[in-house]
Structure 1
Amino acid sequence: MLSIIVCHDKNRVIGFENKMPWHLPNDLKRVKALTTGNTIVMGRKTYESLGKALPNRKNVVLTRDKSFQPEDAEVIHNIDDIYDLKGHVFVFGGQNFYEQMIDKVDDMYVTVIEESYPGDAFFPEYTFKDFKVLSIEEGVLDEKNTIPHHFMHLERYKND
């Protein structure tokens, strides 16, 4: 299974100056719940923005830089190598990687921030002609989660 996992604002912003422009613990908990025990694949800049591999899951970095060898993550240099990874694989960003994979994934786990933020990295456009909505869940607002948001699970329509 090949999935995208992403959090974007209402204008599809996913980052600004190699950081997420918001702090939303509900989204971080969801990412942890979905990806723990599985594999996440990200571009080098996304890995560097995290500062280290995320625990309790296989971290894979896609980069053209043959000298890039982090101690806590596996490295692949060809996008097609993603298909050799076992189990449930999540495309974890950033923009360029999402653009290359959006037409190839089985489903997407999307957190939508219902506000606008400044950004220089964006999630590609997608439509509900390509994906059907399996679920939409409103995010709970509290003292730590003050930004209106919702979670969607989208599945690609199969051409049967």
Structure 2
Amino acid sequence: MKITLVAAAAENNALGKDNDLIWRLPDDFKRFKALTSYHHIIMGRKTFESFPKPLPNRKHVVITRQENYKNETIEVVHSLEEAIQFSSTEEEIFIIGGGEIYKQALPFTDKIELTRVHGEFEADTFFPEIDEKKWDLVNSEFHDKDEKHKYSFSYLTFLKK
């Protein structure tokens, strides 16, 4: 099983503020959908609750410390280890946030699909630093800002060394 982190983070590693994204990048949403559809997506409870509704064509595995948390549309677990164990029959699973879950998952991760948003933003949730001694940048694709994208961004793919 391969574990992939998927995130969009600014140059200062900002992910979000007040349980919401700081930017709207339609092409990044399309890429996220293409990467994660028909897979298990593992996330923290706050990330799940930031969605208007569960994302289609994906199995949601939600980590929470709340013992009595219930939602019929998702799998509720209480640790990252439990989430990975639940998804262990999958070929590839995707960790989609938030900041604390990314930090916990980084040591177990094989691949990072990062959308680097060019700019620095005020945030309360951050992506962990990527240690270049442990990760190889294997692909980089720049996208300039345009009428649909207020900020320029780059798709970066890292593989564990």
* Partner in structure 2 of residue 128 of structure 1: 132
Q: Give unpaired runs (5+ residues) of structure 2.
A: none
Q: Is 1:69 aligned to 2:73, yes or no?
A: no
* Partner in structure 1 of residue 56 of structure 2: 55
Match of 1:147 among 142, 148, 151: 151
Once the two structures are overlaid, the 10-residue window that deviates more, 109-118 or 70-79, is 70-79
Q: Is 1:22 aligned to 2:23, yes or no?
A: yes
Q: Is 1:99 aligned to 2:103, yes or no?
A: yes
- Give the TM-score taking structure 1 as reference length: 0.93
Q: Give unpaired runs (5+ residues) of structure 1.
A: none
Q: Given that residues 26 and 139 in structure 1 are in contact (C-alpha distance below 8 angstroms), is that contact kept between their aligned partners in structure 2?
A: no
Q: Given that residues 62 and 76 in structure 2 are in contact (C-alpha distance below 8 angstroms), is that contact kept between their aligned partners in structure 1?
A: yes
SS at match of 2:9: strand
Q: Percent identity?
A: 33
* Partner in structure 2 of residue 37 of structure 1: 38
- Cα RMSD (Å): 1.1
Give 1:58's aligned amino acid.
K
